Structure 1
Amino acid sequence: MNTSACNSVSLFTESPLELDSGATLSPVNVGFETYGELNEGRSNAILICHALTGDQYVASNHPITGKPGWWERIIGPGKLVDTNKYFVICSNVLGSCLGTTGPKEINPATEKPWGIDFPVITIRDMVKVQAALLDHLGVDTLFALIGGSMGGMQVLEWLATFPERLHSTIALATAARHTAQNIALHEVGRQSVMADPNWNGGRYYEKEAKPDKGLSVARMTAHITYLSEDALTRKFGRNLQSRDAITFGFDADFQVESYLRYQGSTFVDRFDANSYLYITRAMDYLDIAGRHDGRLADAFKNAAHVRCCIISFSTDWLYPTAENKRIVHALNAAGVPVSFAEIESPHGHDAFLLEEPEMDQMIEGFISAAAKARGLSS
């Protein structure tokens, strides 16, 4: 099995996927990519979990934007996650819009796009689909599971739901629950989408006009949370955009305004507005401890055999170090071996996607040690 091309598979064709909401889905199509080769012992598989607006194109060019994969710096032959050694899998999450079943796909009952009739999903629902994909690929146990931000949330749900299928995990810049501030920020984005007259109650797929303005504003708002104040100041300050003086109007006088408008306008070309609603809602519903009477450690009680690594970043105010330490304390209380580091970085939440030498060193060392424990050649 050796490919770097996008694949698609239809799962849950005989028995439907049972969602946390009580609804069911059948079938569930999954878009995914693989890199490298699965060894004879099927012991070298690594699953990469993407963030909110990410996708399966982790180490290959995006089919819409043409840009390199979002973690191509990390994954590939001879890189930190070496595809000469490991079989790397990355799938588009349930509810998204690049090959996996979500609101833009066809509802079998109506033969029209699901739209807002798509059932509300959770992070755990996404993980159940990933587990089914691994079954399809013949992978019983993952050598490693890696994810940042919402990807890290998926890692934590794996630890709580399918610990027997894990050998090691890395979670970066994440949390085990959404705070009131997180929920509030997401609600602003959702309301921006739904206030766009072209949203049309979620039924815009067959219309020429899409809720691009609302989705663009949602993206602009979210993008601010991914950066630190220091990062914005260093990059833009109060510099003017292609002009010598302010215009006393509402054009993009400042470079930071132009930057945010660009982020919003390019986002609508590759993402679906309804998917944004559903995935942010899934993140808001995340509260792993809530399923265990408020004790997060109880969620990880069956994961004592799994090696874990948690990394936070000093200027990440979206999922700050305190939230990551809460996960570390729970893992310790459950007897799970865990390494932790707070990386000093000026880049805010997005630091896990950028070149951070300390992060790279920690990931490299952790994977090397886990590989030796797994009996994989170094």
Structure 2
Amino acid sequence: MAHSAIRWVIKQYQDDIFIMSNKQSHTFEKPFVTEDGATIPDPTIAYQTWGKLNPERDNVILVCHALTGNTSVDKWFKGIFGPNNALDPKKHFIICPNVLGSCYGSSGPKSINPETGEPYRANFPKVTIRDIVRSQQQLLDELNINGIKLVIGGSMGGMQALEWCITDERPKSAVLIGMGEKHSPWAIGISHTQRQAIYNDPNWNDGFYSEENPPKDGLALARMIAMNSYRHPSDFDKKFGRRVQDEQSQYEVESYLNYQGQKLVNRFDAVSYVRLTEAMDSHDIRRSRPRIQETLSALTIPITVVGIDSDMLYPAEECRELANLLPNGRYEEISSPHGHDAFLIEFGQLNSIVKSLQSELSEQAV
């Protein structure tokens, strides 16, 4: 084999080693106590990492996922993940924890309650965004992570990233996408209607349903409601129009929503959906913080808040207002017809925004 070919094989192997994911979980020795005072014994946080920690253990990018997301950043953030992108495992140690209350490995409603030997279901306590972040902070403490170059998240992930900046000294920069300083009444109302859809499913049984008969119809309907809020009317006009599927005699948009509902039912838990929408409703940086202005004044790290011009769930104006509250806040806007979901679609624009912040920080460090 020619030397150039050998070098290419070695380089490809090294690249693959860096990009290879490492799925893990950590169970804490001490119980976790929520803001409301509920106790979760033997709390577990699942997480996934890529890349290697440097000797200082501070070359970290922390990615916070959205409502029904998981730790697989390389899949749902694939457009900004990988060599020469904003999330580059060859340059950074990338970590994504699964949130408390979810159903992808962290303690949540599907976990076994040690007191009963049965799944928690509705006995799993309510958690807040701050609870979720505190559990993540404990995980990074256990991993001896000393610094975070960047914390980034969209939607519920952005809420977590903002709380990280407020409550922890490790983040050195942040990118917050598609969210504001609080969950607005409009957003809470949409969450409420989704939960009501779940509650009204005959199989809900006050949240103590069986594994064989979960409230599938209610969860599917909740997802359909959410999908309408994640997109923009013009996006639906362009994608579906008033076209009808002949074989089903239904509008294409109806078929699309039915598909999205069923898709979520096959991978997510109904009580987790309830608990995490409740956590999103709890998001308000002013809650229980009478001296929030002093707190924000001390928050001098560069934070880029990204709005989406077609976002109906978290309008761009809310994102701009949040950026104006932050001493070193900057506002950027994604132009897209796709509504709130644009942060998982418009990767070219997002990659450019994040890399611009990273370049600025690199220049300052020289």
For the 8 Å contact 1:143–1:374, the answer to whether it is kept is no
Task: Look up the equivalent residue of 1:303 and give its one-letter code.
Answer: L
Partner of 1:41: 56
Cα distance per residue 1:272-315 (max 9 Å; x no partner): 0000000000111111113234x7544423322x1211110111
3-state SS of 2:181 partner: coil
Partner of 1:182: 187
Task: Look up the equivalent residue of 1:348 and give its one-letter code.
Answer: G
3-state SS of 1:197 partner: coil
3-state SS of 1:165 partner: coil
Partner of 1:5: 22
d(CA) in 2 for partners of 1:19, 1:128:
9
Task: Look up the equivalent residue of 2:217 and give its one-letter code.
Answer: K
For the 8 Å contact 2:224–2:260, the answer to whether it is kept is yes
d(CA) in 2 for partners of 1:157, 1:199:
32
Partner of 1:52: 67
Partner of 1:325: 320
Q: Indicate which of 230, 242, 255 corresponds to 1:258.
A: 255
- The equivalences for 1:339-350 within 5 A come to 339-350=330-341
For the 8 Å contact 1:50–1:56, the answer to whether it is kept is yes
- The equivalences for 1:304-315 within 5 A come to 304=300, 306-315=301-310
Q: Indicate which of 142, 164, 172 corresponds to 1:167.
A: 172
For the 8 Å contact 2:203–2:214, the answer to whether it is kept is yes
1:362 is the counterpart of 2:353 = yes
Structure 1 stretch 359-368 or stretch 182-191: which is displaced more? 359-368
What's the CA shift for 1:374?
A: 4.8
Change (3 A) 1:137 1:77: farther
For the 8 Å contact 1:240–1:255, the answer to whether it is kept is yes
Partner of 1:151: 157
For the 8 Å contact 2:336–2:346, the answer to whether it is kept is no
Q: Structure 1: where are the runs of 5+ without partners? A: 60-68, 244-250
- The equivalences for 1:1-378 within 5 A come to 4-11=21-28, 13-14=29-30, 16-59=31-74, 69-162=75-168, 164-205=169-210, 207-242=211-246, 253-293=250-290, 297-304=293-300, 306-331=301-326, 336-374=327-365
For the 8 Å contact 2:103–2:272, the answer to whether it is kept is yes
Partner of 1:66: none
What's the CA shift for 1:194?
A: 1.2
Instruction: From the two aligned structures, give the one with the greater helix fraction.
Output: 2
Cα RMSD (Å) of the superposition? 1.7
3-state SS of 2:217 partner: helix
Partner of 2:13: none
What's the CA shift for 1:26?
A: 2.3
d(CA) in 2 for partners of 1:252, 1:82:
47
What is the TM-score normalised by the length of structure 1? 0.88
Cα distance per residue 1:227-285 (max 9 Å; x no partner): 01111111111111235xxxxxxx66110000000000011111000000000001111
What is the TM-score normalised by the length of structure 2? 0.91
For the 8 Å contact 2:194–2:221, the answer to whether it is kept is yes
d(CA) in 1 for partners of 2:336, 2:352:
14
Structure 1 stretch 260-269 or stretch 131-140: which is displaced more? 131-140
Count matched residues: 349
Cα distance per residue 1:7-36 (max 9 Å; x no partner): 11102x13x222111112221111110011
For the 8 Å contact 1:42–1:139, the answer to whether it is kept is yes
What's the CA shift for 1:199?
A: 1.5
Task: Look up the equivalent residue of 1:55 and give its one-letter code.
Answer: N
Q: Structure 2: where are the runs of 5+ without partners? A: 1-16
What's the CA shift for 1:40?
A: 1.4
Task: Look up the equivalent residue of 1:238 and give its one-letter code.
Answer: R
For the 8 Å contact 1:296–1:330, the answer to whether it is kept is no
Task: Look up the equivalent residue of 1:352 and give its one-letter code.
Answer: F
Partner of 2:5: none
3-state SS of 1:21 partner: coil
For the 8 Å contact 1:183–1:284, the answer to whether it is kept is yes
